[in-house]
Structure 1
Amino acid sequence: MKKVLLGTSALIAAGLLAAPASAAEKIKLGLGGKMEQYFGVVSQDDAPGYDPTLTGINTDTEVYFSGATTLDNGLTVGAMIQLEAQTNATAENADEQYAYIEGAFGRVMAGQMDGVLTRLAHEAPQYGLADDDVAAFFNPAAALGGGYARLVDTTLQSSDGAAVSYISPSLAGFSVGATFMPNPGGAIGNTVSSALQADSEDDFHNQWEAAVAYNGEFSGVQIGADLAYMQQSAPDAGNLEDPSAWRAGLIVGYAGFQVGGSYLTLQDRNGVDGLDSNVWNAGIGYKTGPYGVSLVYLQSDVELAGAGNDDAEYRQWSLHGSYAMGPGVTLAAVLFHGTGELDAAGADNDTDATGGIVGLQLSF
Structure 2
Amino acid sequence: MPASNKNRAPDPGFGLYFHWPFCRKKCPYCDFNSHVREAVNQKRWTAALLAELDWFATRVSPKKLTSIFFGGGTPSLMEPETVSALIDGARRHFIFADDIEITLEANPTSVEAASFAAYRQAGVMRLSLGVQSMRDDALKFLGREHSVSEALNAIELARAHFSNISFDLIYALPGQTPKGWRADLEQALSLAGNHLSLYQLTIEPNTGFAGAVRRGEFQIPPEEKAETLFEITQSVCAEAGWPAYEISNHARPGFECRHNLTYWRYGEYLGIGPGAHGRVIEAGVRTAYQQKKRPERWLAAVETAGQGAETVIPLPSPEERAEEMLLMGLRLEEGVWYENFDAAIGMPMAHFLRRDRLDQLVEAGLMIEDDHRIRATKKGRLVLNSLLPEILV
TM-score range, shorter chain: under 0.3
- With normalisation by structure 1, the TM-score equals 0.27
- With normalisation by structure 2, the TM-score equals 0.25
Structure with the higher strand share, 1 or 2: 1
